Amino acid sequence: MLRGHLLILLLISISGSIGLVKSHEENGLWSCNSHSETRIEANFRPGIVTLDGRPDDWTDVDGLDFALLPALDPHEDDAYKGGKATFKALHDGIAVYFLVEVEGEYVYSKGVNNKCPSVALMFQVGENASYHNMGGCGESPGTCSSKTCKGHEVDIMHFSIGSAIPGRLYGGNPIDNRDGYGGDRFGHLVDVYSWNPHCRYLDGLGPSGNDTSAQNDWRGAWWHDSFTAQTGFLEEDSPYSSAGQKGKFYFEFSRPLRTMDRLQQDVQFTIGQLSKIAVAFWYPVDGNPWHGSGHYSASCDWLSLDVALTSSALTRVVSRSSWDAASAFSLIISVVAFCLSVFVGYSVSKNKSVPFIPMQQL
């Protein structure tokens, strides 16, 4: 039994380190040197995450740390000054979960999205969709369509928190989904697709008409370290904390691995396969409202997202978290069993008068 546990201990795996993507721009032309493929592991970790914006349930999940550089002009000198960011992902076989953590002083202006931090995730849908120019279709708003931009579809989730109460759930809701589009009238956690930055639409809406078969398939919540409330916030508690408090912003999201999209507007995740993802962040630097293209990005090209079939991290973390209790328990059982066998052996050898009765006579 002890040997068995030693084997489990030896099976504890070590997670691979993840390199950072380096980038720069030359002569005003877009260029991105991502030296190695940066991979984010979304391991199979069912039942550990509650979608409430709070990060404590993610402690045992390895993340990718990255610097946030301006998305349109990724110079390291112009990096986000508030601190570093971390990205984590996992899946439970049904949905995929993401956590974006960004160091930053608390700032919040109720109802004014661009004076609050904001986060977006972007995924490749069409096989020819580039990270740069959000799909990279060469058409303009007058000419882009599902035909002229075929193959350039990207899927975007954008969360602007100006009307979202921390810890509360936003995104797909029965009222907007009944209308068959990717909006969210309550918290502005929207499901968007695009072919390029100028041809960007809520799911279901489009230049050549609307299709009410679409849905907002995302859910999410946000939080900041400076919040002290244990119970739920209400809208009148805004701004929820005092400005300038140090800490991290947390943005937690979930989406089913597969959706009922019939329009090539949602990424579809497959267990055991890689997807392409990008992470964007907006912040009202020095209190100035941000504008749409003034975002920071975790990379200057797609990152790989591995929706993993099994999880080496699962073995590691389960072993780590349950090791103390399980090993102590089995150690006690082994000691008790050993003592019992010594006692039985001793009493049998001591009591020489135990009569031998052949089986046939019983």
Taking the complex as a whole, how short is the minimal distance between the CB of residue 197 and ligand NAG, in angstroms? 20
**Tokens matching residue 74:** 């990724």
Output the residue with the shortest Cβ distance to ligand NAG. 151
Comparison of 103 and 139: residue with beta carbon closer to ligand NAG: 139
- Among 5, 39, 150, 258, the residue binding ligand NAG under the rule CB under 6 A is 150
Comparison of 132 and 150: residue with beta carbon closer to ligand NAG: 150
Identify residues 172-211 at the interface with ligand NAG (CB under 6 A): 205, 209-210
Phi, psi of 359 (to 5 degrees): -55, -40
Taking the complex as a whole, how short is the minimal distance between the CB of residue 61 and ligand NAG, in angstroms? 34
Q: Is 47 in the site for ligand NAG (CB under 6 A)?
A: no
Comparison of 57 and 179: residue with beta carbon closer to ligand NAG: 179
CA–CA distance, 124 with 5 (Å, rounded to integer): 43
Taking the complex as a whole, how short is the minimal distance between the CB of residue 128 and ligand NAG, in angstroms? 4
Comparison of 214 and 308: residue with beta carbon closer to ligand NAG: 214
Binding string to ligand NAG for residues 231 to 270, with x set by CB under 6 A, is what? ----------------------------------------
Which residue reads 């150690």 in tokens? Answer: 331
Single-letter amino acid, residue 281: F
Taking the complex as a whole, how short is the minimal distance between the CB of residue 209 and ligand NAG, in angstroms? 5
Give the interface size with ligand NAG as a residue count (CB under 6 A): 8
Query: Pairing state of beta strands 39-44 and 303-307?
Result: parallel
Q: Is 322 in the site for ligand NAG (CB under 6 A)?
A: no
CB 120 within 8 A of CB 158: yes
Q: Is 168 in the site for ligand NAG (CB under 6 A)?
A: no
Comparison of 92 and 211: residue with beta carbon closer to ligand NAG: 211
Taking the complex as a whole, how short is the minimal distance between the CB of residue 286 and ligand NAG, in angstroms? 35
38 contact partners, CB below 8 Å, separation of at least 6:
18, 19, 20, 21, 64, 299, 303, 304
70 contact partners, CB below 8 Å, separation of at least 6:
78, 79, 294, 295, 296, 297
Taking the complex as a whole, how short is the minimal distance between the CB of residue 126 and ligand NAG, in angstroms? 6
Comparison of 210 and 315: residue with beta carbon closer to ligand NAG: 210
Comparison of 202 and 298: residue with beta carbon closer to ligand NAG: 202
Identify residues 108-137 at the interface with ligand NAG (CB under 6 A): 126-128
Comparison of 63 and 136: residue with beta carbon closer to ligand NAG: 136
Taking the complex as a whole, how short is the minimal distance between the CB of residue 118 and ligand NAG, in angstroms? 22
Binding stretches for ligand NAG (CB under 6 A): 126-128, 150-151, 205, 209-210
